[in-house]
Structure 1
Amino acid sequence: MHCTADKRNATVLTSDMVPTGVYVNAIGGDCPGKTELEAALLNRGDVFIEYEPQARIEGDIQHLDAISPVTEMFRVIRGELPGRTADEQLTIFDGVGFAIEDFSALRYLYDLVNGDSPHRKLELIASPVNPKNLFDLAHDAAGQLRKVAGL
């Protein structure tokens, strides 16, 4: 797997850098003219996107012809089209950020946490007994993770 999230306007992955069978998660190209993936790489792989009209303008696929095939993720999730079908397949997710997906994911997690699903609340803000001893924080975090894992 390769994951790109570069804030610069620069090609960070070229076709010769990526062998077959790899999944590329490209989330840094997010406006017109700003891309991370070389067009040759996009042409080699099966490209999955969030929302085609937006991705054609802002995503890495702005390099491609308007008729170049892409698959919107909702079609895979609904079972209308296949996702990854073989180990040797090169798959590319060209994510530009789609607010309704972010909201839906947060709503799902909110409902999950506030429902009957088993979960454990973790402190995200440190409250160390001795703020000068950062090793206590690591020890406490390891203990919390063991509890969550049931160890």
Structure 2
Amino acid sequence: MSMSVGERDDNEPMMDMNTTPLIDVMLVLLIMFIITIPVQTHAVKIDLPVPTDSQSNVDPEKNKVMIDRAGTITWNGTPVDLAQLAQYLEQTKALPVEPELQVQPDPYARYIVVDNVMAVIKRSGVGKLGFVGNEQYARVF
């Protein structure tokens, strides 16, 4: 809507420019530019672990073999038998850098079980072997 201000005859042609089509064209162009601008994303690059198909209990840094007083052998907290222990030790040998193997027998564990575990470890050819928890033997004997 417009309002006429000032003196003007009705027969005289209107000298003002009609800006409605110009504004419509400008709005359409503005919307077209907004649509064609790519969405700006802020990404942070992180290295996620790669999932593997096999459920392996082999840690690439260190692994722990424990023998409790009942004779149960555990590999990183998971009970295993001697055959599984041998498989896990072979998997550690296949890694590019051999992880450290820590052996922690219970002071009251049977000698024969500890001896069998040590025989499996020796046959596997582990290079980095250490006994942990030796302080638990201080007050046993």
Which protein has greater RCO, CA pairs closer than 8 Å, 6+ apart? 1
TM-score, scaled relative to structure 1: 0.26
Please identify the structure whose Cα radius of gyration is greater.
2
TM-score, scaled relative to structure 2: 0.27
